[in-house]
Amino acid sequence: MNSYIQEQIHAFQEQNKNRGRLLVSCPDKPGIVSAISKFLYSFQANIIESSQYSTNPEGGDFFIRIEFECPQLKEKAAEMEHQFTEIAETFSMDWNLTHVYHIKKVAIFVSKELHCLQELLWEWQSGDLMVDIALVISNHEEARAIVEGLQIPFYYIPANKDIREQVEAKQNQLLQEYDIDFVVLARYMQILTPKFVAAHPNKIINIHHSFLPAFVGARPYERAYDRGVKLIGATSHYVTNDLDEGPIIEQDISRVDHRDDVIQLKKIGRKIERSVLARAVKWQIEDRVIVHHNKTIVF
């Protein structure tokens, strides 16, 4: 990592050394917000941002994201997690308490098309994606110069369906070695095995060059052109073993018409893909996504 990025990260960590985030999902019933607020108050924490959602106040599910400032958070963190466990058990909560000073580590997988990778790198260099891009893995060499020019480790691992398990064994080894928090598929054109996906549940973010659920799978622009669509789009989602059907994080669209051929559709689509993937990664970094069944709540 170059010194400029390191300086940005250190400044961010110092600024947010006492900032925490709490994500909760549980069956909805009275008293949840009160219990959480009293818990945070007991640690002298000040709530900075709070967003909540209930599917149905009577027998539905409840979701909340709270961002808070807490003096000496690092010193209090272990005790806070210990004490919150009792509240979580009372309300049958799934919960996650994170610390903003912890910069998440990401691995980016890419193939030949580099536009999504380049967008992530631009956002990262500008400080708009506060993340540690720990490494880039590719089954092609096209990205090497760009990646290594930014002092990011680059690993070329040829891949095809005949050697998929061996390839993924190497990839998993690297993910463990770099202590990766999540993976981004920035137009990585290989299907992952169920074993690999199961090892990283809701930790693999993909960009699909279509507005799902339309045109699942390969060659969506060609099929969209043949269908005469008037809107094209892109979808970022978590990877599951159902191809292109994982929980959707972010989407966007652009209007097109009969004058746009397949080449033009691809050009328009790439712009959408770049921004959609960057936003999805940002929501992941900022702990804004709660997965509920095959859907997401994005605060």
Out of 181, 244, 260, 287, which one is annotated catalytic? 244
Is 94 a residue of the active site?
A: no
The C-alpha atoms of residue 254 and residue 272 are separated, in whole angstroms, by 8
Q: Which alpha helices (DSSP H) does the chain contain, by range?
A: 3-15, 32-42, 73-91, 115-126, 144-149, 164-177, 194-199, 220-227, 262-285
Supply φ then ψ for residue 271, to 5 degrees.
-65, -40
Closest CA relative to residue 157, chosen from 181, 173, 145: 173
Q: Which two tokens stand for residue 246?
A: 């994982």
Residue 67: CB partners within 8 Å, gap ≥ 6?
19, 20, 21, 47, 48, 49, 50, 100
What are the residue numbers of the active site?
244
